Amino acid sequence: MEETHKNQTEAQEEPDLPARDGSDPGFAGNLPKLLLASSSPRRSQILEMVGWPFELGPIEVDESLRDGESAREYVARLADAKARASAAVHAHRPVLAADTTVVVDEHILAKPIDVEDGKRMLRLLQGRWHQVLTGVALQTETTTEVDVEITEVRFAPMNESEIDWYVMTGEPMDKAGAYAIQGKGARFIEGIKGDYFNVMGLPVRLLCDLIKNR
Would strands 95-104 and 107-109 be described as parallel, antiparallel, or unpaired?
Answer: antiparallel
d(CA 162, CA 147): 35
- Could you tell me if 86 and 73 are in contact, meaning their C-beta atoms sit under 8 angstroms apart? no
From the list 99, 105, 117, 174, the catalytic residue is 99
The DSSP secondary-structure symbol of 158 reads: -
Annotation says 99 is catalytic: yes
Nearest to 130 by CA among 189, 213, 73: 189
Give the angle subtended at the CA of 203 by the CAs of 197 and 209, to the nearest 5°: 145
Rounded to whole angstroms, the maximal C-alpha distance in the chain is 79
User: Helices (DSSP H) in 52-189: which residue ranges?
Assistant: 71-89, 115-125, 160-168
Type of residue found at 82: K
Please give the positions annotated as active site: 99
